[in-house]
Chains A and B, each alone.
Chain A
């Protein structure tokens, strides 16, 4: 299967879907699903291959497509996740406007992302990168209104990042004479300052996409405004393109040995990563919009991934890459679950006005619960294993403070995940939501698949870890002793099967024990204890200010200084522009006058000092 063919299929899928939409909506749906599903086996077949095919010459530079284990893992995650969210969209998007455009963009972004991971040189990387950025902008601001503002915020920061990347690429071209990644790898020779310079440029580009802390400001509004299935892609995969870029930069282009010898590199990355973990976690805690909460949590989880990848031991890199896959599964799962709730409740995402939906939407609840468990890292979910890897490497390599922040962030995660689950699905059901139905099957299916992935990767982490281990080895790090149920090691092994057996045996035992007691009568939610009175029918659900005593303590510190700074900057630019507007006031006469004045000055200068 050639790589070009996959890309052609991916891009043509987008176009054909768009055209089919003009004929009938049914045809459009079928084609969108078929094309996005078709990519999965095509990419899956490439497993373990190491191909590099030149595409064509462009301005004297060879464009190259290639695949290796790293690219494969990202590509398969992209294709699976986007086909799941296309399936989810089938009903979610029903009756919305500009559906054609939506599907076109979904498939187009999918194709562009595959292009990014397949590209074997920095030019095609940049081209696909820009395609993805612009398409994302269009899809974020698809709903107009506040969505447009969110999209503009995104695209401005994104352009800023792209410019930095472009300068970096040109710099590499100038100093190294080639942009082909496999030729750069290993034998790049830059002076110390040039390395730092390039690192900064690329870090800005990838940091914006990955929403690392000073560049995170676009992400929360973008997530909450985008349609839910797209939020799943955005959070699960799209921002991870930044992670992919980081891995490429750190381990392939610059090389890990050189990296760790850079002065200050570890300190800077560690500070960035810990701040990215802690601050957004606590911001997420005070959010009242379900999707904003998840968006902030995405920022925090990106911190874990970067921490794992940049720490540079084989344990931590394995953990980081695994956490990327896991985050893609459980965060997409959570977004889809919220999307299903949103669909059934006619767009209610406010955590304070939902409640008790477990009776109405049991499968969505289970999916959301599994997603939240993965997010927390409860044992037997995949999030646990990847975090375990990262923590262990941090602890054993004498960075207990980093480990502390990472672990403490997890406890914050518990708080907001439970708030999310509790406020939506537990507690009292408001009267108006009592009659809503279950999520339709095409929405449940992606959620079920993702939940299974969370659980299976949690119980048999060896499946993905073996593939990841080969990537880590290809970076020149030592190989780990991975087995199907975790890790064998003398300094503390991991055995998920044992945990699984212990817990399931425990459940069985206690279940039998509970059968000893007399059978319970089931009652409905109105029959709860309220000091002898009957429970008020509607709003008797403890949600607003769920962690009030904590909020009081932390709220003053949770101002998003960075966002405030950006907003001030934007205002300032606006002000300057309006000043400029006084000069460019649209009268042709004035412009003619400016030109004549300018010429007069030139002539004056020439006559006086004869510079030319």
Chain B
């Protein structure tokens, strides 16, 4: 644990996350056969939003969004980026699993105070989606933890570096596939974009955010992307020994996510839940059973 690492790792996550936001818009545009915005567009957007005079619905409205980003920053500190892992020895995967709650919880509380039914609908969908993918995710993480006999994420990464990636280890193949299947839901990209659904419920929880709040929500989204993918990379793609290699892996997974985002329409909530409780849950369950038996 180094003080410079504590500063560096959230900063890196932020930069990479915002870059990803821009990249995703560019790639999406190219898939649509468009020229697309400049890659710095999210930065411009965030600057613009910070300059705008927003409205606030109360103290919880202000605090919730701050709390949410603080939660994201805390998660980032617990996730190893290459060799940088400032706090990952203070609680391991279980803690990560729980601190990952803080970000959506903060947004949910904050937008709840806005008294807008669209945001309530958005939150309710978001929580349902979480319940859906968490079913498989928990099974997957438990398979990992039983296989490696540790709850520390750095240990898991280290063990993968010695041997092969988890994705290619025999009992962990199935959970790995299940993880890939639920990854779009974790990232909240298109087939599972149900909680935002701009055309349907006016961007759900963010409906009342303007100005500073919207900028913070964008930043939170950037963090969420990095967190969601880095967790996968660390757990299944073997993490990495240095930063560049690590973020290269993250980038590849992210581009895969964008492709999925580009070609799928949005599912309805029931369909999404049905899908999540279907094949991915089954694969994850099978994986855990095999892991326990071996």
Interface assignment of B52: CB less than 8 Å from any CB of chain A: yes
Interface assignment of B176: CB less than 8 Å from any CB of chain A: no
CA–CA, A412 and B215, complex, Å: 31
From 46 to 78 in chain B, residues with beta carbon under 8 angstroms from any chain A beta carbon are 49-60, 62, 65-67, 69-74, 77-78
Closest beta carbon of chain B to A274's beta carbon, Å: 14
> Do residues B57 and A522 form an inter-chain contact, with CB atoms below 8 A?
yes
Interface assignment of B230: CB less than 8 Å from any CB of chain A: no
* Contact flags B127-162 to A (C-beta < 8 A → 1, else 0): 110110011001100110110011110010000000
CA–CA, A507 and B57, complex, Å: 19
Across the two chains, which residue of chain A brings its CB closest to B118? A529
Interface assignment of A528: CB less than 8 Å from any CB of chain B: yes
Task: Pick from B33-41, B86-94, B164-172, B181-189 the stretch touching chain A.
Answer: B86-94
> Do residues A378 and B105 form an inter-chain contact, with CB atoms below 8 A?
yes
> Do residues B211 and A502 form an inter-chain contact, with CB atoms below 8 A?
no
Interface assignment of B101: CB less than 8 Å from any CB of chain A: yes
Closest beta carbon of chain B to A548's beta carbon, Å: 8
Chain A residues lying within 8 Å of B59, measured Cβ to Cβ, are: 362
Task: Pick from B19-27, B108-116, B236-244, B250-258 the stretch touching chain A.
Answer: B108-116
> Do residues A511 and B71 form an inter-chain contact, with CB atoms below 8 A?
no
> Do residues B212 and A388 form an inter-chain contact, with CB atoms below 8 A?
no
Across the two chains, which residue of chain B brings its CB closest to A416? B127
Interface assignment of A404: CB less than 8 Å from any CB of chain B: yes
Interface size class of A (residues with CB under 8 A): 35 or more
Interface assignment of B45: CB less than 8 Å from any CB of chain A: no
Query: Main secondary structure on chain B at its contact with chain A?
Result: helix
* B side interface size, CB within 8 A: 86
Across the two chains, which residue of chain A brings its CB closest to B215? A517
> Do residues B216 and A514 form an inter-chain contact, with CB atoms below 8 A?
yes
CA–CA, A504 and B63, complex, Å: 12
Interface assignment of B208: CB less than 8 Å from any CB of chain A: yes
Partner of A514 from the list B66, B78, B98 (CB cut-off 8 Å) is B66
* Contact flags B210-241 to A (C-beta < 8 A → 1, else 0): 01110110000000000000000000000000
> Do residues A418 and B123 form an inter-chain contact, with CB atoms below 8 A?
yes
Interface assignment of B84: CB less than 8 Å from any CB of chain A: no
Task: Pick from A109-117, A125-133, A393-401 the stretch touching chain B.
Answer: A393-401
* Contact flags A294-320 to B (C-beta < 8 A → 1, else 0): 000000000000000000000000000
Interface assignment of A426: CB less than 8 Å from any CB of chain B: yes
> Do residues B124 and A499 form an inter-chain contact, with CB atoms below 8 A?
no
Partner of A398 from the list B99, B139, B150, B292 (CB cut-off 8 Å) is B292
Q: Which of B71, B72, B155 has the most CB of A within 10 A?
A: B71
Interface assignment of A428: CB less than 8 Å from any CB of chain B: yes
Partner of A418 from the list B98, B127, B202 (CB cut-off 8 Å) is B127
Partner of A528 from the list B73, B108, B116, B273 (CB cut-off 8 Å) is B116
Interface assignment of B28: CB less than 8 Å from any CB of chain A: no
> Do residues B151 and A491 form an inter-chain contact, with CB atoms below 8 A?
yes
With A358-B58, A395-B151, A499-B90 as contacts: A384 and B98 at CB distance below 8 Å: yes
> Do residues B90 and A529 form an inter-chain contact, with CB atoms below 8 A?
no
> Do residues A521 and B91 form an inter-chain contact, with CB atoms below 8 A?
no
Partner of A491 from the list B87, B152, B211 (CB cut-off 8 Å) is B152
Chain A residues lying within 8 Å of B91, measured Cβ to Cβ, are: 388, 486, 492-495, 498-499
Interface assignment of B117: CB less than 8 Å from any CB of chain A: yes
Given A492-B150, A494-B91: 6 more A-B contacts, CB < 8 Å? A388-B91, A398-B146, A401-B292, A520-B56, A525-B114, A549-B269
Q: Which residues of A contact B (CB under 8 A)?
A: 356, 358-359, 362, 365, 369, 376-379, 384, 388, 391-392, 395-396, 398, 400-401, 403-404, 407-408, 411-412, 414-415, 418, 421-422, 426-429, 486, 491-495, 498-499, 502-507, 509-511, 513-514, 516-523, 525, 527-531, 535, 540-543, 546-550, 552-553
Sample of 19 A–B contacts (CB below 8 Å): A404-B139, A407-B142, A411-B134, A414-B131, A491-B151, A492-B152, A495-B89, A499-B90, A503-B73, A503-B99, A506-B10, A514-B62, A523-B57, A529-B202, A529-B208, A547-B128, A549-B273, A552-B270, A553-B273
